[in-house]
Amino acid sequence: MKTKLIISLLIIGLATACGTKKNNLSAAYEVATETQTETQTEVQTETNDTTTAKIATEQAMSDAKITETKDRYQMENGQFVEKPFHIIVGSFKNETNAKNLRNTLSKNGMNAFVAVNKDGMFRVFAVSSDDEKTVRIELVKVRQTYPDAWILKLSK
């Protein structure tokens, strides 16, 4: 009986001793990892400062999908939209709603206009360009206020 009690106590003692070592090793590992991470962060911060803007722009540009159409859009003055790349911030069946959004954009300094397609949809064009890259960069800025803005490419 005494031997069973002694063996039980030894097993319990060994089990708790192993657990203590594991905790001590974990704490030492965490301290070493934190020190290494701080050093890496300092080096990365210096490197990343020069490329952060470039990478952010490229990532934002790569996310935008382009909707391509052969539709012709006629502006209010009767002329047709000629440039191939555009940022659309709204599409309405009601012309008044489209004009209200255009007026809001114009007050904010954008050269926005409304154009209608063959199906009678009034689209609000916030930015137009001959260059896809320019439109992609501008889309990042426009989406800060109008998150549903998208790129339209007019094919000839």
Residue in the structure block whose two tokens are 């069973």 = 4
The answer to whether domain 66-154 has CATH 3.90.1490.10 is: no
Beta bridge partners of 87: 127, 151
Residues forming beta bridges with residue 74, ordered by sequence position: 80, 116
Tens digit of pLDDT for each residue in 23-72?
Answer: 555 555 565 555 555 545 454 554 455 455 555 555 555 467 888 888 88
Mean pLDDT calculated for residue range 90-103: 96
Please state, in angstroms and as integers, the Cα–Cα distance from residue 121 to each residue in 41, 57, 83, 88, following that order: 51, 31, 19, 12
Q: What does residue 94 show for φ and ψ, rounded to 5 degrees? A: -95, 120
Q: What is the pLDDT of residue 32?
A: 53
Residue 136 in contact with residue 120, Cβ under 8 Å? no
pTM: 0.60
- Residue ranges of domains in the chain: 1-63, 66-154
pLDDT in tens, 99-136: 999 999 999 999 999 999 989 999 999 999 999 999 99
